[in-house]
Amino acid sequence: SQQGEEDPQALSIQEGENATMNCSYKTSINNLQWYRQNSGRGLVHLILIRSNEREKHSGRLRVTLDTSKKSSSLLITASRAADTASYFCAPFYSSASKIIFGSGTRLSIRP
Protein backbone atom coordinates (compact mmCIF):
# COMPACT_ATOMS: atom_id res chain seq x y z
CA SER A 1 0.00 0.00 0.00
CA GLN A 2 1.22 3.50 -0.75
CA GLN A 3 -0.64 5.18 2.05
CA GLY A 4 0.80 6.40 5.27
CA GLU A 5 -0.75 5.05 8.42
CA GLU A 6 -1.23 7.44 11.30
CA ASP A 7 -1.15 6.46 14.93
CA PRO A 8 -2.99 6.94 17.22
CA GLN A 9 -6.36 7.19 15.48
CA ALA A 10 -7.55 9.64 18.13
CA LEU A 11 -5.78 11.77 20.72
CA SER A 12 -7.25 14.00 23.41
CA ILE A 13 -5.00 16.29 25.44
CA GLN A 14 -5.25 19.32 27.70
CA GLU A 15 -4.62 22.74 26.23
CA GLY A 16 -0.97 23.65 26.67
CA GLU A 17 0.27 20.07 26.51
CA ASN A 18 2.30 18.66 23.64
CA ALA A 19 0.76 16.34 21.07
CA THR A 20 2.69 13.68 19.20
CA MET A 21 1.38 11.79 16.18
CA ASN A 22 3.17 9.08 14.28
CA CYS A 23 3.15 7.91 10.70
CA SER A 24 4.47 4.70 9.21
CA TYR A 25 4.92 3.87 5.55
CA LYS A 26 6.03 0.93 3.44
CA THR A 27 8.72 1.74 0.88
CA SER A 28 11.39 4.32 0.19
CA ILE A 29 10.09 7.83 -0.13
CA ASN A 30 11.00 11.00 -1.95
CA ASN A 31 9.48 13.22 0.72
CA LEU A 32 6.79 13.13 3.37
CA GLN A 33 4.24 15.80 4.09
CA TRP A 34 1.82 16.49 6.93
CA TYR A 35 -1.61 18.03 6.41
CA ARG A 36 -4.25 19.32 8.81
CA GLN A 37 -7.99 19.31 8.26
CA ASN A 38 -10.37 21.23 10.45
CA SER A 39 -13.86 19.79 10.64
CA GLY A 40 -15.74 20.13 7.36
CA ARG A 41 -12.95 22.05 5.65
CA GLY A 42 -10.26 21.40 3.07
CA LEU A 43 -6.80 20.19 3.97
CA VAL A 44 -4.00 22.59 4.80
CA HIS A 45 -0.37 21.75 4.17
CA LEU A 46 1.72 22.00 7.32
CA ILE A 47 5.23 20.87 6.54
CA LEU A 48 7.30 18.87 4.04
CA ILE A 49 10.37 16.88 4.99
CA ARG A 50 12.63 15.40 2.34
CA SER A 51 14.13 11.94 2.53
CA ASN A 52 17.60 13.31 3.23
CA GLU A 53 16.38 15.39 6.19
CA ARG A 54 15.92 14.09 9.72
CA GLU A 55 14.15 16.94 11.45
CA LYS A 56 12.30 20.08 10.50
CA HIS A 57 10.65 22.85 12.46
CA SER A 58 7.90 25.29 11.65
CA GLY A 59 6.62 27.45 14.49
CA ARG A 60 5.18 25.08 17.12
CA LEU A 61 5.52 22.09 14.79
CA ARG A 62 8.43 19.68 14.78
CA VAL A 63 8.61 16.82 12.31
CA THR A 64 11.11 14.00 12.41
CA LEU A 65 11.82 11.39 9.80
CA ASP A 66 13.51 8.03 10.32
CA THR A 67 13.94 6.40 6.93
CA SER A 68 15.49 3.28 8.45
CA LYS A 69 12.28 2.66 10.39
CA LYS A 70 10.07 4.11 7.66
CA SER A 71 8.37 6.37 10.14
CA SER A 72 7.75 10.02 10.86
CA SER A 73 6.39 11.91 13.82
CA LEU A 74 4.65 15.26 14.17
CA LEU A 75 5.00 17.10 17.45
CA ILE A 76 2.79 20.07 18.25
CA THR A 77 4.05 21.96 21.26
CA ALA A 78 1.98 24.10 23.64
CA SER A 79 -1.30 22.99 22.04
CA ARG A 80 -4.18 25.39 21.53
CA ALA A 81 -7.90 24.90 20.98
CA ALA A 82 -7.39 25.83 17.32
CA ASP A 83 -5.17 22.77 16.89
CA THR A 84 -8.26 20.56 17.18
CA ALA A 85 -8.33 18.87 13.78
CA SER A 86 -7.48 15.71 11.88
CA TYR A 87 -3.86 15.29 10.86
CA PHE A 88 -2.74 13.26 7.85
CA CYS A 89 0.69 12.19 6.74
CA ALA A 90 1.42 11.89 3.03
CA PRO A 91 4.46 9.87 1.98
CA PHE A 92 5.53 10.59 -1.58
CA TYR A 93 7.27 7.81 -3.45
CA SER A 94 9.57 8.47 -6.35
CA SER A 95 7.31 6.52 -8.67
CA ALA A 96 4.09 8.01 -7.39
CA SER A 97 2.35 11.14 -8.40
CA LYS A 98 -0.57 11.25 -5.98
CA ILE A 99 -1.28 11.11 -2.28
CA ILE A 100 -2.98 8.07 -0.82
CA PHE A 101 -4.32 9.31 2.50
CA GLY A 102 -4.82 7.18 5.56
CA SER A 103 -7.58 7.75 8.08
CA GLY A 104 -5.59 10.35 9.99
CA THR A 105 -5.21 11.18 13.67
CA ARG A 106 -8.11 13.09 15.20
CA LEU A 107 -6.68 15.50 17.75
CA SER A 108 -8.93 17.10 20.37
CA ILE A 109 -7.67 19.84 22.65
CA ARG A 110 -9.57 20.12 25.94
CA PRO A 111 -9.82 23.61 27.49
Partner 1 sequence: DTGVSQNPRHKITKRGQNVTFRCDPISEHNRLYWYRQTLGQGPEFLTYFQNEAQLEKSRLLSDRFSAERPKGSFSTLEIQRTEQGDSAMYLCASSVQGAGGPDTQYFGPGTRLTVL
Interacting residues with partner 1 (CB under 8 A): 3, 30-31, 33, 35, 40-45, 48, 86, 88, 90, 92, 94, 96-104
Q: Which is nearer to partner 1, 16 or 45 (CB)?
A: 45
Q: Which is nearer to partner 1, 78 or 96 (CB)?
A: 96
Cβ neighbourhood burial of 5 (10 Å; 0-12, 13-18, 19+): middle
CB of 74 to partner 1, least distance (A): 15
Q: Which is nearer to partner 1, 44 or 78 (CB)?
A: 44
Distance CA 59, CA 110 (A): 21
CB of 2 to partner 1, least distance (A): 10
